[in-house]
Structure 1
Amino acid sequence: MTPVIKEKINGVSFVAHRDSISQKNVDPLLNINANYAAIMPFAMIKSLDSPNVNYDAERQWFGETIVGGKQYINTLKKSNIKSMLKPQLWVWKGEFTGFIEMKTEDDWKMLEDTYSKFILAFAQVAQDTETPIFCIGTELEKFVEARPDYWTSLITQIRSIYKGKLTYAANWNEYKKTPFWEQLDYIGIDAYFPVSDSKTPTVEECLKGWKKYKDTINSYSKKYNKPILFTEFGYRSIDYSGKAPWTVDRVESKVNLEAQTNTTKALFETFWKEDWFAGGFIWKWFINHDKVGGLNNNRFTPQNKPVEQVIKAQYGLY
């Protein structure tokens, strides 16, 4: 028995900004038929073995704070765009959060304590704003692996505050090891699966590349009787966009808009028609639409690129 999804989550990962948002920042989402946005307030930790999670600080951008998160959610809601609140950790210098790992038991306990305060504070925000989905963590593989009992307890604590649906954003090569899917409502995957080694992958190549993953992903939906949610998905407009889609380095490689378009089309074609697939959140969308992306940009954002029309057409179907 697999869950049947009637309406898709057609989402964007809405990047926090130093300013509040207004209708002019929301209209571009309506233009691509988006019905969801992931709101992503960040907490900072100094290193991969630092146990102190610092959040809602004065020096942080408005969109990363409790007040800012509420403002974003409530402004989007006025245009019938729902939110997934997705509080995340940022390690100094941008190191990968999946490698966060403490060296002592005391440090593990301090990390648990400070992470809980961070997550429970935003669980309260999600409850106060009637946000439909709350994401309890993003790509924290070593933390989850080392402290499974903590995560089970944390989910119980979140449930005591927040009455909506829960997910966790597991990295593409992590979700099979995540131990607490039974406690959540969606199996969340950051879908940076490698699907093609070509410089400019074709749609057909990417469809073939997805075949080795799709059945396994579906099997997890069946196993836990939970829909699959791509908590992040997307590709850079760059050569070899399907080879290692998680790559975020600053190398100014050649812009390849066709590669981004084809990889995105193949992902939509593979998943959006499936009853067990809930939808997902494209990575990533900035609030000042007219000033970002464009034909000379090789980053992830689809804004002001050909792929934006692909997303608009797909999101318009559901």
Structure 2
Amino acid sequence: MEYIKGFTFGWGANRGDFLKKEAKESLKLLKERTASEYVIIALAAEQDTAFSTEVKYRGDHMVSDEELIDMIEYAKNLGLKVMIKPTVNPSDGTWRAHINFFDIDVPCEPKWHQWFESYTNYQLHYAEIAARMNCEMLIIGCEMVQTERREREWRALINSVRAVYKGLITYNTDKYQEGNVKWWDAVDVISSSGYYPIGDWNNQLNRIELIVKSFDKPFFFAEAGCPSRTGSANIPNDWSLQGDVNLKEQQLYYKEMFEETKKRDWVCGFGLWDWQTLLYPEVNASKNRDYAVFGKPSEKIIKGFYQSISKKHSIK
């Protein structure tokens, strides 16, 4: 598998957003400004709460199939390779890692098999689009920590997806959870969210390396990044952290992350978090405290790093 020079795009896009000329201009700038070769189109279905069993992937909170296909075609015309990443979030604001049900079925309570039936239908819908559009990879879930112990259901889901999609399949586990997924053998690629504190990358890479090599699978960070605010480099996964705008801190974070991972030939790339569908004016970059890098010093760090990666870093 070649090194994935990637960026996440489309997170939070609503119906019609991909049809806007600003969205296509944003994707074009993503490629030009970061030297990315892959775009991960992240979709956000909803379920009412962490204990609801219906995954809702039709409605104004999702881009339509037609506009998704149109954006994939546009990405390919730009020379980008495409991954689709269908995820789900509870509508009440609970993080999806907390989606959970009783391990023993209880009458009148929501059940795992009900949720997995709905979630599998959701994944199959986009697996069919990924197959039709010849997408390079499908990411069948993201940071769904409490679900990961349901090994039998995940294996069944993967088998169902493989019946319609023949490309590479991965699952994006959360930071620190790489060793808790017992069914890595069922996917083609191992991936996780690399939101590790600055100064701790070497320790975490040592830990992850032992896990990855035990499965003999390619690995990449399907998410990684850091907000541009004071304090975020120490806890980059906390999107709600309060702090002043700090472009330098974000820049230093990216420098260390790239320096440490480049030493490890088993790290096969990134799907950085994230590039907005509708960009803020570049003149406002110095006021933005989010994960975005458009117009910030980190943008050039990323481009320089991706341009420095040659084919010799490819992993079989």
How does the TM-score come out when normalised to structure 2? 0.88
Q: Match for 1:263: what amino acid? A: Y
Deviations 1:104-158 (A, max 9, x none): 735222101110110111111111110011011111111121x210001111111
Q: Match for residue 43 of structure 2? A: 41
**Distance in 2 between residues matched to 1:95 and 1:304, nearest whole Å:** 31
Q: Match for residue 131 of structure 1? A: 135
Q: Quote the RMSD (CA, aligned, Å).
A: 1.8
Q: Match for residue 157 of structure 1? A: 160
Q: Match for residue 10 of structure 1? A: 5
Are residues 1:190 and 2:176 paired?
no
**Distance in 1 between residues matched to 2:228 and 2:254, nearest whole Å:** 10
Q: Judge conservation of contact 2:178–2:208 (CA < 8 Å) in 1.
A: no
Unpaired segments ≥5 residues, structure 1: 196-205
Query: Percent identity among equivalent residues?
Result: 25
Are residues 1:20 and 2:15 paired?
no
Deviations 1:258-302 (A, max 9, x none): 110011111111113532111011111013335366011111111
Q: Give the drift of 1:61.
A: 4.1
Task: Specify the SS of the correspondent of 2:49.
Answer: coil
Q: Match for residue 76 of structure 1? A: 75
**Where has structure 1 moved over 4 Å in runs of 4 or more?**
none
**Distance in 1 between residues matched to 2:52 and 2:10, nearest whole Å:** 25
Deviations 1:71-118 (A, max 9, x none): 221110111101111000011132111111124735222101110110
**Distance in 2 between residues matched to 1:260 and 1:160, nearest whole Å:** 42
**Distance in 1 between residues matched to 2:49 and 2:280, nearest whole Å:** 35
**Distance in 2 between residues matched to 1:99 and 1:27, nearest whole Å:** 35
**Distance in 2 between residues matched to 1:49 and 1:26, nearest whole Å:** 35
Q: 1:262 aligns with which of 249, 252, 255?
A: 252
Q: 1:222 aligns with which of 213, 219, 224?
A: 213
Q: 1:274 aligns with which of 216, 241, 264?
A: 264
Q: Judge conservation of contact 1:86–1:134 (CA < 8 Å) in 2.
A: yes
Q: Judge conservation of contact 1:188–1:228 (CA < 8 Å) in 2.
A: yes
Q: Match for 2:165: what amino acid? A: Y
Deviates more, 1:69-78 or 1:306-315: 69-78
Q: Judge conservation of contact 2:84–2:130 (CA < 8 Å) in 1.
A: yes
**Distance in 1 between residues matched to 2:203 and 2:26, nearest whole Å:** 38
Number of aligned residue pairs: 296
Q: 1:51 aligns with which of 46, 50, 53?
A: 53
Q: Match for residue 174 of structure 1? A: 177
Unpaired segments ≥5 residues, structure 2: 310-316
**Distance in 1 between residues matched to 2:95 and 2:277, nearest whole Å:** 25
**Distance in 2 between residues matched to 1:37 and 1:272, nearest whole Å:** 20
